[in-house]
Structure 1
C-alpha cells in the first residue's frame, strides 16, 4: 500500500468524519435531549463514517451480502452528508442573519437537502448521449468510424444491472463500429457477475469491444476484474497496441498514479501511423513522451466532479475535467464525465453520459 494511498485515505476520513460531526452539531436544535436516542444517533453517525472500510473488509472475507448492505447504506448516507454540509451550513447562516430561529433554520436546511438529494438521484439514474465529431486521417474510402465510449461505470453494489442495461441500450441505439471502456468499469466482487454483465456481453460492434483498467479495478480483486472483463466480451489493452486493418489503431495502458512515459512512447511508436491512433487511458494525463504519437486520447476518471461544487476542486488536480480538448500539437483529448458514478448515488450538475465519437475525414465536419 503506497504512502499516497494512505495519505488519501487518512485525509478522506478526517474530512468525512469532521463533516459528520459538524452536521450532528448543527442538528442539535431538533434532536431529542440527552439520552438513549441521542447516544444511538451518535453511534449511527460513527458507523456510517466507517461503513466504506467495513464493507471492503466484509467483501474481502467473502461476506458479499453484508458487504452490500454496508456499501449501499453507507454511500446513500455519504450523499446526504455531502449535500447537507453545504445546505445545512447555508441554513445555519440564514438562522444567524434572519429572524427565523435555529429550529426553523435546521428544518429548512433538511428540506433543501432532501430536495437536492432527490434531484441528484434522478440525474444520476438518467444518463444521456453526448456527440463529438473529430477529424482524422481515415483510410481511403472510409467516411466515418463511430466509437461509443463508456467510462467509470463502477459496477457493484450501488450500480446494478438495470442501470447498466440502460447504458447499453443507449450504446446499441447509435450502432457504433467499436465500443471502448476507459476504466473503472467495476467496483466490487459480484455474486452473479454473468447476470450483471449480460447487457455488455450482448453488444457486438463490428470492430470489437476494448477496455483499459482504471484505479478501482486494482482496489478490488484484480483477478476477478480481469475475468469480469472477459465475461463482458472486452479485450483488455494493458500496455499494448492493436492495429484494426482498414479502420484505426488502438492503444491502452493500465491506470497508475504516475504514467510511464517511455513505455507509452514505445507502444505508440510501434503502431501504424497511416490510420488514426486512438489511445485509451483512464486518467487525463498526457506525458511528454506520448505527444505527437496519437490522434485522440479517450479518458475518464474525473466524473466531471460528479457533484457540484466538487468539480471546482477536481479541476485543480485535472485541468481537463471534461469534454474535448486540443493540445498544442494538434492531438485531441476527450474526457468523459462517466456513464456511472462512484460512492453516493448522486450527480449534481455533472450528468452521466455515453459518448459517441465520430471520426471523419478532414474537412468533412
Structure 2
C-alpha cells in the first residue's frame, strides 16, 4: 500500500493517535518538545491510507559534522500495527531522505526481539546495529495481572522489603512541581555517589512541564525531607521509568521498594497495560530491578536504514566517537571519586589551619 505522510502540528491530536495505536511515551508530544528544547529538531508524522491514520512516527533530527548531513532517529517508535510496519518504515525513510538528506534513519521500536515484525523491519531495508541509545534488555511487567500475581512473581526479599519500608515512618505520594527541586537535589546526590552524569535542571523541569500528566513523579518523605524519588513517563498503554534516586537515609530505610510498588500500583489503576523498568545491565541497580519478576524481556534493539553512500563511514565513526565519550565520562568519574575528595580534604585542612593561626595586629 502507498501511504501519505501528513505532518502534525496539534498536540492533543497527536497524543490521541499515539495512544490509540498503543504507542510508547517517548512518542508523546511532550517528549519530542523537550528534545526540541534541548538540541534536536522534532517532527511528528501521520502515515495515512485512504485518509485513515495507520501509523505515526515522532522523529528527532540532529545535524551531523561534515561530510555527513543528518541523523534521523525514532525513539521507541513508530507506533503502528505489526502488519503495517514495513510500509510505515519505508515511508518514514523516504521522508527522512528527501526532507533532511539524512545519512541514516535509526529506530529503536517498542517491539519484542522474537516477534514476527522483525522480518518486516529487515524487509524495509533496516539492519541491526550496536550504536544503541535505549537498552533493549529490560523487564516489563504485565499490569493486567492482579496485585497478588505481581507480588507472587517477586523475590521473597522484595516482598519483605516492601513491607519493611512500608512500616517505616515514611510518607509515599506523588510530588508537585514545587517539590521537583528536592527530587533534583536527591538525584544529584545519587549521581555523585554512583558516578554518572546528569542534565541541567532545566531539562528535567521541561520534561515535567511538557509531558504534564504523562510524567508522574513519586517520592518517599521522612517528615518533610525527601529520601527517594521515582520519575516515570506514561502513555495509555506503557509506563516507562525515566529517573530515580535515594539519599543514604533512604537507602538505609529501603524506601525504594515501597516507592516502586506505589508507582506500579498507580500505573495499574490508570489502566496502563505495561510497566517497563527501562533497561537491565550487569550492575546493582539491575539486580534490584530483576527481583521484581522471574523473567526478562528483550526488545528488538537498534536498527539503521542507510540513506546515503556515506553510511559505512558513519557506522565506523559512531562507535569511535562514543568510545571517546565513554573515556571522558570514565575520567570524570575517577576525578569525582579520587581527586575531588582529596582536594576537598586539603581545602578543609587549610581552612582549619587558618582558623587556628594567631591574628596579626597592627
Is the structural similarity TM-score above 0.5? no
TM-score interval, smaller chain: under 0.3
Greater strand share, structure number: 2
